[in-house]
């Protein structure tokens, strides 16, 4: 162990000014991987605060190709006169704000009494400290003033100077993040998301983002637009009109949909509170109390009521308290009661205006809890592998196991009917290939939902064979490959689509990991005296034979796998050396949305999709 040096007065290091931020940046802005966005957001938040205070209707941001960030608002501008605490140094208030921690107009109520994102006067000075270059312009007393900094150190006094932008008033800040401290690049998707959400939270304000020459302006009518945007790709109907309210401290929008998914977001003074907090807890209390008052007997839990719920709360308070400088959780104790006092009465009226809607939500919540309890008996068997590598598998009448204990080597074939399963049993390699039998078309989980799906014997058998646990986030996958082996007719293709829908909806990870395949077998087998020819049509088989100068003596159409020779099925589906499998790959968001739309009620389109695979 290295000997510790002498500990004395000289061992104590004092970091002055913004040195602390540059020395320990993570203490002030959190994760440095997202540091560029954080210091940009500090400048953007100041512009939003001017809008919240009623002094600005525009916020502009430019990200140039050469790495400079520019933020401009049309607010009151930063004061430039000598600060009372720095009379002897004759230091401008602008310089104090830009170079001193805990210096700002949001520390005490007054300049931003209506609620602001900033609280500690730390933000913009951190931006300055972590920028290799920063220049600020502020419009005060009908004059533009400016000052330039490098790594937070002023390069001259505050002086008159017009900005690069053609801007009438407000504050403009142009800076370049210090690459030695913040090497990670800005994520444009994160930035665009901030602008979009800020438009929902600040209706009537024009927010413009110019990212490397591509400019877009965001504006909205409020949180009702947020719900519409969030649910536009759900492909499901709302159960009732949205609940929209704006009070002294709260903006709230809630709406229930016919879906198992949900999303309830929260902000405080337009800053996202990812971990929620006391205002979020208050909103949950409002929802729970509203429904509980209308039901005599319940079996549901509070979270069951929020199935299908999409919405948001933006809470405003003059002196917000967060658990950290990154402002991810609000901790003001009074926020919970404020939300309940200001919303509960109106939410109760909303529920009482449609008893049919309320009954549907309560019935669904009770059903959800009933299904969870019913499936609790399956949890242990589905989520844990026993010491010998065995699990509680489907019954022997529906499942044919293999001998290997190697999960990655094991293959599961989903077959259609007893006949196909019987042929597959003879064709497979019993060392590593398993078979799960389906009675026919399984339930369409895109239409019926997951709750009904867990009541289906066929679906449970497939899930058990895979190793999926519906009641847990942790799954013990017990197969390396899942192979769909259905007949090459309309019904077979339909079953394949339904299986893919099941996997995508319930266990998308296996598709993302490339574990799902479909047997790509030929439809026709033509035989000459010495050779077999395979093709998708009779013409294809005939052309192959002609090219070899041979004559086709017999043709078999491989329509049903239970009707062909096991040796042939082995070559087509089970023998890794001769079979042809098509891997099902992950699709993008647009493609997934299209998929869910097509697996809805239009069966003809569903068949067409699989035909094109």
Active site residue 406: no
93: its two tokens: 């208030």
Distance CA 468, CA 516 (A): 14
Active site residue 491: yes
- Find out whether 479 and 407 touch, Cβ atoms under 8 Å: yes
What does each C-alpha distance from 57 to 47, 171, 198, 210, 433 come to in angstroms?
A: 9, 13, 13, 17, 65
Backbone angles phi, psi at 70, to 5 degrees: -130, 130
Q: Could you say which of 346, 491, 532, 563 is catalytic?
A: 491
Q: Could you say which of 416, 434, 458, 469 is catalytic?
A: 416
Distance CA 46, CA 102 (A): 15
The DSSP element (H or E) to which 149 belongs, if any, is: strand 143-150
Q: Could you say which of 215, 363, 489, 602 is catalytic?
A: 489
Residues 6+ apart with CB under 8 A from 222: 200, 203, 244, 246, 251, 253
187: its two tokens: 């994520």
In 3-state terms, what secondary structure has residue 558?
A: coil
Count CB atoms within 10 A of the CB of residue 493.
20
In 3-state terms, what secondary structure has residue 438?
A: strand
Count CB atoms within 10 A of the CB of residue 297.
5
Active site residue 487: yes
Exposure string of 303-325, with b = 16+ CB inside 10 Å and e = fewer, is ebbbbbbbbbbbbbbbebbbeeb
Angle, CA of 344, 350 and 356, to the nearest 5°: 130
Active site residue 601: no
Distance CA 81, CA 96 (A): 10
Residues catalogued as catalytic: 416, 487, 489, 491
């Amino acid at each position: 162990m290295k000997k510790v040096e002498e500990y004395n007065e000289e061992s104590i290091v004092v970091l002055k000014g913004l040195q602390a931020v540059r020395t320990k940046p993570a203490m002030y802005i959190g994760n440095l991987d997202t540091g560029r966005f954080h210091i940009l957001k500090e400048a953007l938040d100041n512009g939003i605060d001017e809008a919240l205070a009623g002094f600005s209707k525009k916020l502009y941001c430019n990200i140039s190709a050469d790495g400079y960030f520019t933020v401009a608002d049309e607010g009151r501008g930063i004061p430039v006169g000598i600060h009372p605490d720095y009379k002897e140094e004759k230091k401008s208030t602008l310089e104090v704000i830009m170079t001193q921690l805990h210096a700002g107009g949001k520390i005490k109520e007054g300049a931003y009494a209506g609620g602001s994102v900033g609280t500690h006067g730390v933000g913009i000075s951190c931006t300055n400290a972590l920028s290799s270059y920063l220049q600020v312009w502020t419009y005060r007393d009908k004059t533009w003033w400016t000052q330039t900094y490098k790594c937070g150190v002023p390069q001259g006094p505050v002086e008159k100077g017009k900005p690069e932008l053609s801007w009438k008033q407000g504050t403009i800040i142009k800076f370049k993040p210090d690459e030695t401290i913040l090497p990670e690049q800005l994520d444009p998707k994160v930035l665009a998301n901030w602008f979009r959400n800020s438009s929902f939270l600040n209706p009537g304000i024009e927010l413009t983002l110019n990212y490397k020459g591509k400019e877009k302006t965001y504006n909205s009518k409020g949180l009702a637009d947020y719900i519409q945007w969030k649910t536009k790709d759900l492909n499901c109907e709302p159960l009732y009109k949205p609940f929209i309210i704006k009070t002294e401290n709260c903006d709230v929008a809630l709406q229930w949909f016919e879906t198992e998914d949900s999303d309830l977001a929260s902000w405080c003074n337009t800053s996202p509170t990812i971990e929620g907090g006391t205002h979020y807890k208050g909103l949950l209390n409002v929802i729970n109390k509203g429904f509980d008052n209308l039901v005599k007997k319940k079996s549901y839990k509070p979270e069951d009521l929020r199935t299908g719920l999409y919405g948001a709360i933006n809470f405003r308070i003059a002196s917000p308290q967060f658990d950290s400088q990154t402002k991810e959780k609000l901790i003001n104790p009074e926020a919970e009661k404020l939300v309940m006092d200001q919303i509960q009465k109106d939410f109760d009226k909303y529920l009482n205006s449609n008893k049919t809607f309320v009954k549907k939500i309560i019935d669904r919540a009770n059903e959800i809890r009933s299904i969870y309890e019913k499936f609790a008996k399956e949890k242990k068997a589905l989520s844990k592998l026993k010491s010998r590598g065995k699990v509680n598998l489907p019954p022997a009448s529906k499942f044919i196991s293999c001998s290997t204990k190697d999960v990655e080597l094991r293959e599961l074939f989903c077959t259609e009917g007893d006949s196909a399963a019987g042929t597959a049993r003879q064709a497979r390699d019993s060392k590593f290939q398993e078979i799960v039998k389906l009675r026919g078309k399984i339930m369409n989980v895109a239409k019926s939902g997951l709750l009904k799906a867990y009541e289906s014997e066929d679906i449970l058998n497939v899930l058990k064979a895979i190793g999926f646990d519906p009641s847990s986030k942790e799954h013990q996958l017990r197969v390396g490959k899942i192979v769909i082996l259905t007949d090459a007719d309309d019904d077979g293709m339909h079953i394949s689509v339904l299986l893919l829908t099941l996997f995508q909806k319930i266990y998308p990870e296996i598709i993302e990991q490339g574990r799902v395949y479909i047997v790509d077998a030929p439809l026709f087998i033509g035989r000459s005296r010495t050779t077999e020819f395979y093709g998708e049509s009779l013409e294809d088989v005939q052309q192959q034979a002609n090219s070899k100068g041979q004559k086709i003596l017999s043709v078999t159409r491989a329509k049903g796998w239970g009707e062909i020779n096991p040796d042939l099925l082995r070559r087509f589906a089970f023998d890794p050396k001769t079979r042809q499998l098509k891997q099902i790959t992950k699709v993008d968001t647009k493609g997934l949305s299209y998929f869910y739309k097509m697996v809805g009620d239009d069966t003809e389109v569903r068949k067409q999709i699989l035909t094109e695979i």
